[in-house]
Chain A
Amino acid sequence: MKTVVAAVDSTAAAQPVLDTALGIGRLTAASVEAVHVTGHDGVETPSELASRRDIPLRFLSGPVVPGLLSAVAAREVIAAVLGARATPFGRRPVGSTALAVIRAADKPIVVVPPDVAGARAQPFHRLLVPLEGNDASSRAVLDGLVPLLADDVALIVLHVFTPDTVPRFLDRPSRDVSTLSREFVARHCPPAARAELRTGSVSGEVDVLCREVAADLIVLSWSQTGDPGRAT
């Protein structure tokens, strides 16, 4: 049995986390279980939110991060969903709890902004996968994500050229991009429908392409170091 864990608390992020978890569950044909580390107050209790969605809720005790990591580590758990931070406003896009979990977990983690709109009941069909064009970033997607996906899910790969990955030769760039794109897919993510090759700011291009292709989800593989300019 496959399970997607939804880590909820009593903050504004709980609702989008649960809804996203349902979507991920459908994406991966897995059931959803909510977990709540007790000891926090909130606008609406996790129990009510989970119950409304027929999601079983398990209460955990103790420190938050170890508790969540323990839940994620369970054998049947294939992925987890958690809120990026408690409120839509904050100094950093990803809070300390979320950052600690994604740094330590060895399974795909879906990080949901607290203000994500329309997450409820939205199926995930189109996944945007930014890749660095190296084996490590590809392997994380190929080994960690692709085996979990249903057949009707389309992966759209994005690679933003950096000084290290910019091609050495392109005789006719406007003609060669299609060959290069096909090769990028074949070399780094064969299950993908296509690859978009771009120049410019990585985060900017992710944002642009996400809107262009109406991606339902952005899939980031990363080194779990949280270095500046990386996936965080």
Chain B
Amino acid sequence: MVDASAIDRTFEAVIFDWDGTAVPDRSADARAVRGLVEALCAAGVHVVVISGTHVGNVDGQLRARPEGPGTLHLALNRGSEVFAVGPGGVEVVWRRTASSAEDRELDLAADATVVRLGERGVRAKVVSNRLNRRKIDIIPEPEWADPPKARIGELTLAVANRLHTAGWRDLAEVVAVAVDASRAAGIPDPRISSDVKHVEVGLTDKSDSARWAAGWLANRGITGELILIGGDEFGPIGGVIGSDSLMLVPELERAIAISVGVEPEGCPEGVLSLGGGPARFLELLERQLARRRGRRVPAIDRDPAWTVPLPSSPQQARAAEAMGTVANGWTGTRAAPEEGGPETQPLFVVNGVYTADSQPQLVPGPQWTRLSVPGPAESDGWVLDLRTGVLLRQPDDDSGLRTLRFASAARPHALALRAEAAAPIAPAAISPETPQAPEQPGSQFAISESAAGGAIAVVARDWHGRTDDLAVVERIAAWSAQRAGRADAQQTRARVADQAGIGFDRLLAEHRKAWAQRWADAAVVIEGAPDDQLAARFAVFHLLASAPDDGEAAVGARGLTGSAYGGHVFWDAEVFVLPVLAALRPATARAMLEYRIRRLGAARTAARSRGQTGARFPWESAGDGRDVTPARGIRPDGTVVPIRTGEHEEHIVADVAWAANHYAAWSGDAAFLAGPGRDLVLETARYWATRTRLDPAGQGHLYGVMGPDEYHEVVDDNAFTNVMVRWHLRRAAELSEPGSAQAARWRELADSMVDGYDPGTGRYEQFAGYWELEPLLITEFANPPVTADVLLGADRVAQSQIIKQADVLMLHHLVPDEVAPGSLGPNLSFYGPRTAHGSSLSPSVHTALLARAGEPDRALGLFRIAARLDLDDLGGTTAGGLHLANLGGIWQSLAFGFLGLRARGDALEVDPRLPDAWQALELTFRFRGHPVGIRAEHDRVTVRCAEPLTVRASAGRIIRCEPPDHTFSWEG
């Protein structure tokens, strides 16, 4: 049920009927409408006029020539044409043109309808032959030649009398006759409408106009509640549905619809009946204009499929701040309250800007969202809008502090915030430090620097005033950063001046549009499981926001959402995050690899310092590429322990090479693997060439390493490491000069690597001696996921077969062609009950593998743990930032697990396994340079592609898919 409060919001678009809604009739003076439409467009509002009549009538009457940035479109001719209107006039942007056959069918349908009316005593005639439609006058009497809208009641009565006299039930019966006649004429989907006087037979109607508008707006991130639909005939008239109800298409389901018409038979549910005619409608437009000019806080579309309400309890406040981070790849701003407070952990960081000490961390930048708020502010009402990348704060108390903030996805250096409250809020200093040199009035400058490390400068331009009895603050901020040295204050000032010139509303419009474009290549639809779908979208949202798409991208374990691990880059980046971005945003994946490429020198130095050749990437990396893994840590039992991952968890060297190859395989970026990517793969392979030890039997070993399972710290011949190295050496050989000695040597070494595989059982031994450990199962102690080392003690766990996370099984996930055929099942059966899933990296990998093993329903259970890990703060550490690897694992489990996607040269392998609870799973992504969509249902797969695509389905079936889509049956 819609109530009047629904229109007390700022709309981004207004779609309205013309005759009867905006103007009383077609001869009315439309100057007031013109002024409002042009002013709304100037304020950034998109306006769409929908009418059945032709452009001459509407444009001739409206005569608006808006200059933007908002747009004016006329969607006319009952859904058959759309015109864009600008300062230069009117230009057609879309038109449905009937074929000659369709025109013949329309003539036949109209003539047949007139004949059938005449046969039953109603004289009618075809009065116009317009684009895609024919108009039949069913009351061709002089008195009713051109009835004004105001006489709709009398007209309805006159037509009813005319029909009743001839024995017709009502107008609906006439419409039904027209439908029958049209179908008989060969029109499969006739659009029959009536304004009481006429019945029209057509190929299009207002629903086509509304669909066009919905699509156009959705491409700009404007959906649902951001759209106002105005009309005057939503309710039925004379038994026929109101013509404006055709605008209520499913694509605009959540839009706010209002009627200013008489609505003699009432309004349909979901439409707010205001009455008052065009005068009332113009009041609404004026109100919208006033909200814009008063800089009121914009609205969001609270679509439950796209919005995440943040937890509001003080206990969850810091986790909520991480969840609500607004990031644009370059910067991240946690969802800390604008007024600050003792329980908050505000953070503004810039990707790759670290301190330069022995334990570097991301430099905490100026707190650009700070406001002065008298008294305590409400903690409830925070909502993250995934679709448009904005964070809204709107407490239940209408007079409470309301804010909206975003980090522009369109302009990397733009940050913006608006706030309003009944209380006298005001801008506050964005830095706790002593204010810098005075800026111009309304501006403030702050800089965060680190000794010899990075620096971040922010300039904020503030406006504050009052509107609607509310105090309003608008802040537009810009940042500059240096990885080493001072940030450029002048550059920052210039940026904020540019952005202030663009203005908040336009920055927001650009930002929404940029997110809409991001989602176009990254859609996730899980039908039948809205919670799973929202969690997956939450994951994709934060992944898309985690890294920039040019230059280099340092993706820390918690991305830009928190300070845990100092923002250090682990294998999480290459193995869990990069595969997602390679498919959703390849330029960002490339930037992640550039981060490693630019640190090859440091990696070479690290290898040399160990007496090895090639390049050794560090387990933890920050600004300069040296190993920044801390030497010691404190375990939960209070003891200080050495951290040995930096010394021994060397599989990251192969992981980086794997990521480079994976990026190339998905993106089709051949130049990368022929250039910098090749160097990356070969230099790292050289490290293994000297790091590997050959025993007297000629078998290759890696002694003193650590696999992903960190419960067993220093082991020999970790199967994961050895097999990854084997894959790495073979791939490097393929990329080497054909026939070179180096390639031959690497192939030979690869073939020599021991891998712990037992053909008798089909199992890989996780490392040398693992079989001899105490054969404990985690389920004997607890229900996973659980931190077994905390529960049982690190020493006890190390002596047992209980493992922290997927280790051997990571091979089946990353390099399935490198493990023994058929070995997934035996290893899942063996290692599954021994896996504590005490790492956030584990559940999603097991999810993917259980799906591949044909157990999608079991997989779903683990998927839901991964999906809720941060949303429910299952580990208690989300306050330190979101677990980015897990977010990556969520998407990977959907793509590589449930859909069974894999790059096979130019072909895409698709082999879905859907859990019963899901009706369909659909992902869109880019594959080898082109957008692709895969939708799997339980019995069919639909491939959407912009270019022809070869799909390898189950059982080796090769399917050539042609654009725009191709559906094939699937028996999974």
Question: Using a CB-CB cutoff of 8 Å, which residues 631-649 of chain B contact chain A?
Answer: 632-638, 641, 643, 645
Given A171-B841, A198-B637, verify A166-B790 contact (CB < 8 Å): yes
Chain B residues in 8 Å Cβ range of A208:
638
Chain B residues in 8 Å Cβ range of A184:
876
Question: Are B840 and A171 within 8 A (Cβ)?
Answer: yes
Bound Cα distance A15, B920 (Å): 76
Question: Are B318 and A183 within 8 A (Cβ)?
Answer: yes
Q: Which residue of A179, A183, A187, A200 is within 8 Å of B637 (Cβ)?
A: A200
Given A167-B876, A182-B879, A186-B315, verify A177-B635 contact (CB < 8 Å): yes
Question: Using a CB-CB cutoff of 8 Å, which residues 157-193 of chain A contact chain B?
Answer: 161, 163, 166-180, 182-184, 186-187, 190
A77 near B: Cβ within 8 Å?
Answer: no
The listed residue with most A CB atoms (<10 A of its CB), out of B790, B837, B875, is B790
Question: Are B877 and A161 within 8 A (Cβ)?
Answer: no
Chain B residues in 8 Å Cβ range of A180:
636, 876-877
B839 near A: Cβ within 8 Å?
Answer: yes
B886's nearest neighbour on chain A, judged by CB, is A169
Q: Which residue of B343, B837, B877, B883 is within 8 Å of A190 (Cβ)?
A: B343
Using an 8 Å CB-CB cutoff, how does the interface string of B865-876 with A read, 1 for contact, 0 for none? 000010000111
> Chain A's nearest CB lies how many Å from the CB of B651?
16
Question: Are A171 and B839 within 8 A (Cβ)?
Answer: yes
B670 near A: Cβ within 8 Å?
Answer: no
Given A175-B565, A175-B630, verify A170-B790 contact (CB < 8 Å): yes
Bound Cα distance A198, B793 (Å): 11
Chain B residues in 8 Å Cβ range of A190:
314, 342-343
Bound Cα distance A177, B564 (Å): 11
Bound Cα distance A168, B634 (Å): 18
Chain A residues in 8 Å Cβ range of B319:
183
> Chain A's nearest CB lies how many Å from the CB of B634?
6
A162's nearest neighbour on chain B, judged by CB, is B791
Question: Are A179 and B880 within 8 A (Cβ)?
Answer: yes
A196 near B: Cβ within 8 Å?
Answer: yes
Using an 8 Å CB-CB cutoff, how does the interface string of B763-794 with A read, 1 for contact, 0 for none? 00000000000000000011001110111011
A197 near B: Cβ within 8 Å?
Answer: yes
A199 near B: Cβ within 8 Å?
Answer: yes
Q: Which residue of B343, B645, B877 is within 8 Å of A170 (Cβ)?
A: B877
Question: Are B635 and A166 within 8 A (Cβ)?
Answer: no
B792's nearest neighbour on chain A, judged by CB, is A199
Question: Are A172 and B785 within 8 A (Cβ)?
Answer: no
> Chain A's nearest CB lies how many Å from the CB of B410?
33
Chain B contact residues, majority secondary structure: loop
B317 near A: Cβ within 8 Å?
Answer: yes
B315's nearest neighbour on chain A, judged by CB, is A187
Chain B residues in 8 Å Cβ range of A177:
633-636
Question: Are A198 and B315 within 8 A (Cβ)?
Answer: no
Question: Are A174 and B643 within 8 A (Cβ)?
Answer: yes
> Chain B's nearest CB lies how many Å from the CB of A226?
27
Chain A residues in 8 Å Cβ range of B781:
163
B335 near A: Cβ within 8 Å?
Answer: no
Q: Which residue of A171, A174, A187, A200 is within 8 Å of B634 (Cβ)?
A: A174
Given A161-B790, A176-B564, A199-B790, verify A169-B638 contact (CB < 8 Å): no
Bound Cα distance A182, B637 (Å): 16
Q: Which residue of B342, B565, B636, B785 is within 8 Å of A197 (Cβ)?
A: B636
B404 near A: Cβ within 8 Å?
Answer: no
A169's nearest neighbour on chain B, judged by CB, is B875
Given A167-B790, A171-B557, verify A196-B638 contact (CB < 8 Å): yes
User: What is the size, in residues, of chain B's interface with A at 8 Å between Cβ atoms?
Assistant: 45
User: On chain A, which size bracket covers the interface?
Assistant: 20 to 34
> Chain A's nearest CB lies how many Å from the CB of B875?
3
Question: Are B869 and A169 within 8 A (Cβ)?
Answer: yes
B556 near A: Cβ within 8 Å?
Answer: no
Bound Cα distance A170, B637 (Å): 14
B343's nearest neighbour on chain A, judged by CB, is A186
> Chain B's nearest CB lies how many Å from the CB of A162?
9
Q: Which residue of A167, A175, A187, A198 is within 8 Å of B875 (Cβ)?
A: A167
Question: Are B636 and A172 within 8 A (Cβ)?
Answer: no
> Chain B's nearest CB lies how many Å from the CB of A79?
26
Using an 8 Å CB-CB cutoff, how does the interface string of B677-720 with A read, 1 for contact, 0 for none? 00000000000000000000000000000000010000000000
Bound Cα distance A203, B25 (Å): 86
B319's nearest neighbour on chain A, judged by CB, is A183
B639's nearest neighbour on chain A, judged by CB, is A174
Bound Cα distance A184, B645 (Å): 27
A197's nearest neighbour on chain B, judged by CB, is B636
> Chain A's nearest CB lies how many Å from the CB of B354?
17
The listed residue with most B CB atoms (<10 A of its CB), out of A161, A171, A196, A209, is A171
Bound Cα distance A186, B635 (Å): 20
Chain A residues in 8 Å Cβ range of B564:
175-176, 179
Chain B residues in 8 Å Cβ range of A173:
633, 635-636, 787, 789-790, 794
Question: Are A168 and B875 within 8 A (Cβ)?
Answer: yes
Chain A residues in 8 Å Cβ range of B637:
198-200
> Chain A's nearest CB lies how many Å from the CB of B558?
10
> Chain A's nearest CB lies how many Å from the CB of B437?
35
Question: Are A174 and B786 within 8 A (Cβ)?
Answer: no
> Chain A's nearest CB lies how many Å from the CB of B888?
14
Chain A residues in 8 Å Cβ range of B782:
163, 166
Question: Are B838 and A172 within 8 A (Cβ)?
Answer: no
Bound Cα distance A181, B791 (Å): 17
A164's nearest neighbour on chain B, judged by CB, is B782
Given A168-B874, A174-B633, verify A161-B641 contact (CB < 8 Å): no
Bound Cα distance A34, B791 (Å): 46
Chain A residues in 8 Å Cβ range of B557:
171
Bound Cα distance A208, B637 (Å): 11
Bound Cα distance A171, B842 (Å): 10
Using an 8 Å CB-CB cutoff, how does the interface string of B546-585 with A read, 1 for contact, 0 for none? 0000000000010000001100000000000000000000
Sorted from nearest, which 4 A-B pairs have the closest CB atoms? A174-B633, A169-B875, A179-B880, A187-B315
Q: Can you list 23 A-B contacts with CB-CB less than 8 angstroms, sorted by A residue number?
A: A161-B791, A163-B791, A166-B782, A167-B787, A167-B875, A167-B876, A167-B877, A169-B839, A169-B840, A172-B643, A172-B710, A173-B635, A173-B787, A174-B632, A176-B875, A178-B634, A179-B564, A180-B877, A182-B879, A183-B319, A183-B876, A199-B790, A209-B638
5 extra interchain contacts, Cβ-Cβ under 8 A, other than A167-B876, A168-B837? A163-B782, A166-B787, A196-B638, A199-B636, A199-B790
Give me the interface of A with B, judged by CB distance under 8 Å.
161, 163, 166-180, 182-184, 186-187, 190, 196-200, 208-209
